[in-house]
Each structure stands twice: as structure tokens, then as C-alpha cells.
């Protein structure tokens, strides 16, 4: 393991082989089974999770027992509860494995060492954080004012293959619509001969 994470850092943060050799000593990787819980509400999120292989998701469960998917994290994505990790407060979220997955744990010790060995890494994380905020703002806007079709079209841009990997009810949950509405959207798009890129 760690091959994809190494390539990810080399591409996005210009980490050298030598620098990664130093940083690899601060990394833990693990294979986890489908449905393994990596975080649950009430726990402090001590790690971010980089997905080498497989698929993770973060979600909440409301008082009625309904799940609300916040984020999917396929290969080369990172998922965490930033609020819990940064402010050291109990998490409101679950993070679990949708598929059998290989993950890399990123904690503060790793982050601090990465800042120490690479000036590029700090710039990369700052840009990644702003990008994350940008996506959240766009998602809130879509949930508040977009049609089900617009939400679906926006969803398949970052997640083009997830329709084949994730139960339809999970995608509907992420989009804030019912599974029936999602089926209708997909049927309407099929009539228009729409194909995802």
C-alpha cells in the first residue's frame, strides 16, 4: 500500500521520493472490510482517511433513523470530520466503508512532519481546504434551490462511476431526494439519450 498516496502527494504537493521516504514512517495503512466503522458520533476524529482502494462515505442519522450522506470518498479522495479534528470536539458524523477498502490514516503528527519537510505541502493543504469549502458552498446552494435533475447532473461530475458502485438509495440520500425521484430523473435523462462522461 501507499503507492497511490505517494503518487497523489507527488502530483499535488510536489513531494519528492526522498521526502516521502521520511513521511512514510509517520503513516499507517490498513485494509478494512465493507461496513467497517472508522468514526462514529461522539468520538474525536483523530485522522483523515485517504482511500488507496475502495470507497468510504460520511453520513449522519437523524432522530427518525434516516441516513443523510454527506460525502463519498472513492480512490484518491480524502474524508474526515474537519470540525472535530481541528477543534478537538466530538464528531456528529459516521464514516464507514461502502466497499472493502485500503486506507491511509493521516494524523496531526504526519501533517506537522509534512509541513516541516515540504513548503509545497502547506500550500497544497491550504488550496485543498479552500476547494473543499467551495464545494460545500455549491452543494448547499444546490440543496436549497436546484431541481433533482440539476443535483444529479452536478453529482456525476466528481463521481462518474458511483452509480455502478453504490446503492441508489445512498445516492438519493446524498442528493436530498427520494429514491423514486432519482429513478424518475434517470429515466428522463435516458429518454434524452444522456450519457455521463
Domain ranges of the chain: 3-118
Average pLDDT of the residues of the chain: 92
Query: Do 40 and 91 form a contact (C-beta atoms < 8 A)?
Result: yes
- Domain formed by 3-118, architecture: Sandwich (2.60)
Q: Give the model's pLDDT for residue 33.
A: 98
pLDDT digits (tens, 9 = 90+) for 53-84: 999 999 999 999 999 999 999 999 999 998 89
Instruction: Give CA–CA dist 49/159, Å, rounded.
Output: 18
Which residue do the cell numbers 440539476 mark? 150
Q: Do β-strands 94-97 and 56-61 pair in parallel, antiparallel, or remain unpaired? A: antiparallel
Phi-psi map region of 41: left, alpha, beta (phi>0 left; psi -120 to 50 alpha) = beta
Condensed to tens digits (0 to 9), the pLDDT of residues 92-124 reads 999 999 999 999 999 999 999 999 999 899 999
- Only one residue has cell 466503508, namely 97
Amino acid at each position: 500500500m501507499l503507492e497511490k498516496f505517494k503518487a497523489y502527494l507527488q502530483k499535488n504537493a510536489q513531494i519528492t521520493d526522498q521526502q516521502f521516504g521520511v513521511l512514510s514512517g509517520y503513516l499507517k495503512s490498513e485494509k478494512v472490510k465493507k461496513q467497517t466503522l472508522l468514526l462514529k458520533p461522539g468520538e474525536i476524529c483523530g485522522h483523515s482517511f485517504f482511500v488507496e482502494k475502495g470507497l468510504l462515505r460520511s453520513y449522519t442519522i437523524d432522530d427518525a433513523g434516516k441516513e443523510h450522506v454527506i460525502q463519498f470518498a472513492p480512490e484518491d479522495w480524502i474524508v474526515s470530520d474537519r470540525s472535530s479534528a481541528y477543534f478537538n470536539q466530538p464528531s456528529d458524523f459516521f464514516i464507514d466503508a461502502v466497499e472493502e477498502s485500503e486506507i491511509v490514516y493521516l494524523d496531526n503528527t504526519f501533517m506537522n512532519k509534512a509541513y516541516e519537510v515540504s513548503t509545497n505541502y502547506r500550500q497544497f493543504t491550504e488550496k485543498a481546504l479552500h476547494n473543499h469549502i467551495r464545494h460545500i458552498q455549491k452543494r448547499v446552494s444546490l440543496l436549497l434551490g436546484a431541481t433533482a435533475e440539476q443535483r444529479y447532473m452536478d453529482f456525476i461530475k466528481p463521481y462518474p462511476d458511483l452509480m455502478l458502485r453504490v446503492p441508489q438509495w445512498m445516492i438519493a440520500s446524498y442528493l436530498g431526494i427520494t429514491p423514486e425521484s432519482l429513478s424518475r430523473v434517470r429515466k428522463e435523462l435516458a429518454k434524452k439519450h444522456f450519457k455521463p462522461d
